[in-house]
Amino acid sequence: MASWVVHHWFSILFLVVWLGLNIYLFVSAFLNFEKNEKYYYTREILGTALAVARASARCLNFNTMLILISVCRNLLSFLRGTCSFCNRTLRKPLDYNLTFHKLVAYMISIFTIIHIIAHLFNFERYSGSQQGPNGSLAFVLSSLSHHDKQGNSWLNPFQSPDVTVMYMTFTSIAGLTGVIITLALILMVTSATEFIRRNYFELFWYTHHLFVIYIICLVIHGIGGIVRGQTEESLVDSHPSECAESFQKWGENNSNCKHPRFEGHPPESWKWIIAPFILYVFEKFLRFCRSQQKVVITKVVMHPSKVLELQMLKHGFSMEVGQYIFVNCPSISFLEWHPFTLTSAPEQDFFSIHVRATGDWTENFIRAFEQQYPPMPRIKVDGPFGTVSEDVFQYEVAVMVGAGIGVTPFASILKSIWYKFQHEDHKLKTQKIYFYWICRETGAFAWFNDLLTSLEQEMEELGKVDFLNYRLFLTGWDNNIAGHAALNFDKATDILTGLKQKTFFGRPMWDNEFSTIATAHPKSAVGVFLCGPRTLAKSLRKCCHQFSSVDPRKVQFYFNKENF
């Protein structure tokens, strides 16, 4: 636990500040509407629900601002590049932008529920005060005219006892936009679940773009001015502390108190959203311009296990190891963009991706390139964008774990290492790499074998056999495969892959692996990089905490996971 806090103290501080700001904004807004004399008469009708509704609204505005910033990928890539000289702990929050995006979404959902419940109470109280006792202050306030020329006499938006809560909900600006905002939020949150994203990505992609409707409705939500407070001039003529008790004599000749006048609370959402929205629009404009640049496909390769490799050229394209791009194929969908990790090295004169069929879009994409007859499908490319894998060469020891197609960022890294070793003057901070690749079927190994074979040969020629320690694990096999491998175990190369390293059957025993690495590197900073499922991430994160020394001068494991 102590080592985890040491490694993530800045991320923890960031979350604490975020939660603290939410609490501060809620409490400050609550106290303002609960104590401010401007809203004294409004509270006579609505009670504490007024303050709760306005406090939750302020927190909603704050978190909507943050949720836009957290998905500005160019901004995050810029910050990552700018902070490349910073301590890894200070860069850590940038690696969890999507995690933070989800946390902010949950916070928005919570405050939306609070806001809706509070306003349901408000609407019921507005409606009830029209039907209350004639002599009550709430009834008198609700009876103030809606028809004066200046339009600032009324306080209760329910103009008569016949107006129902349902009618006001669907006819007022605040009510109708609130319904639309809620429906959009429900669709966005439910379609963003793990099951939907993995199995119906297109559904997730389309519904998530309802955020445009959400933002527009949020901006105009407060224009109707349903929540009203006393005007400054009216506070002078009819101050609640002097006139509230004598409300039955308002406007009489022998009374110093006039009928109070009210004004709608000015809309605030646009003030919170305008800056990040402009930033987001600029981000989209930049990505649009970049995506319009011509992409030339120089090579198409179909690998076993239905993995498609595309090698491409694009003017001005510059990348780092472990980065990713967004790809659009207009012949499949004009709107959908899908992220793919680059598998080429920065030293190569092209950039490449490997695509495995995991859904409707990827299946159609692969099928389009499987056809031998021209013309070849046109694609658009946006990026590259930075990821946590860029930091792999910042560690003395790196542990890279790929599951299935999750090997792609490490293909880029290993290729880059191969090129770096071609130049003996190139010095690497990294002294040792442990690479684990976990696959369900033997065919998945095929497209990566050539690279590993080249690396094996290169390491031998340079006398760096110990630099790369790689292990391949097969989790799905039958008895024939296992028996065949056992009979040929004494051969110089593996019967399944043709590599000198033998293939293991089953999953790695991570406790043993981490224990061995910790023993071999007792004073090193070890970066653990994963591109794989959440269950594997949980196991690796646990091992990183378990095998990191409390003493910061000894072995420390830093867990890093790819997030798109």
pLDDT tens-digit readout, 320-351 = 888 888 898 888 888 788 888 888 888 888 89
Rounded Cα distance between 539 and 508, Å, is 11
Q: Is 527 within 8 Å of 430 (Cβ atoms)?
A: no
Distance of alpha carbon 93 from alpha carbon 97, whole angstroms = 7
Q: For the chain, give every domain's residue range.
A: 18-156+223-278, 303-378, 395-405+429-443+461-476+494-564
Residue 117 has pLDDT above 70, yes or no: yes
Distance from C-alpha of 296 to C-alpha of 352, rounded to nearest angstrom: 11
Find all residues with CB under 8 Å of 314, minimum gap 6, and list them: 293, 294, 295, 296, 351, 381
Query: Which pLDDT does position 440 carry in this prediction?
Result: 75
Confidence of residue 187 (pLDDT cuts 50, 70, 90): very high
What are the two backbone dihedrals, phi and then psi, of residue 86, each rounded to the nearest 5 degrees?
A: -75, 165
Looking at 2.40.30.10, 3.20.20.70, 3.40.50.1000, 2.40.128.20, the CATH number of the domain 303-378 comes to 2.40.30.10
Same fold, 303-378 and 395-405+429-443+461-476+494-564: no
Q: Residue 412 in contact with residue 343, Cβ under 8 Å?
A: yes
Q: Which amino acid is at 148?
A: D
> Is residue 504 classed as helix, strand or coil in its secondary structure?
strand
CA-to-CA separations, 1 to 93, 515, 543, 549, in angstroms, rounded: 19, 18, 12, 11
Q: Shortest CA distance to 437 belongs to which of 493, 534, 508?
A: 508
177: pLDDT confidence band, cut at 50, 70 and 90?
very high
Q: Are 66 and 104 in contact (CB under 8 A)?
A: yes
DSSP 8-class letter at 246: T
For residue 128, name the pLDDT band (cuts at 50, 70, 90): confident
Query: How far, in Å, are 76, 460, 471 from residue 435 at the CA level?
Result: 28, 17, 6
| Tens digit of each residue's pLDDT (9 = 90 or more) over 232-259 | 887 887 888 777 777 776 766 666 778 8
> Cα(448)–Cα(358) distance, rounded to whole angstroms?
19
Digit-coded pLDDT (tens) for 393-432 = 888 888 888 887 777 788 888 888 777 776 655 677 788 8
Other residues' Cβ atoms within 10 Å of the Cβ of residue 147:
8
Assigned CATH class of 395-405+429-443+461-476+494-564: alpha beta
Q: Closest Cα to residue 320, out of 381, 379, 382, 391? A: 391
**268 pLDDT more than 90:** no
Q: What is the 3-state secondary structure (H, E, C) of 361-418?
A: HHHHHHHHHHCCCCCCCCCEEEEEECCHHHHHHHCCEEEEEEEHHHHHHHHHHHHHHH
- Mean per-residue pLDDT, 49-63: 93
The tens digit of pLDDT for each residue in 500-521 reads: 677 777 888 888 888 888 888 8
φ and ψ at residue 497, rounded to 5 degrees? -115, -20
* Predicted pLDDT of residue 8: 64
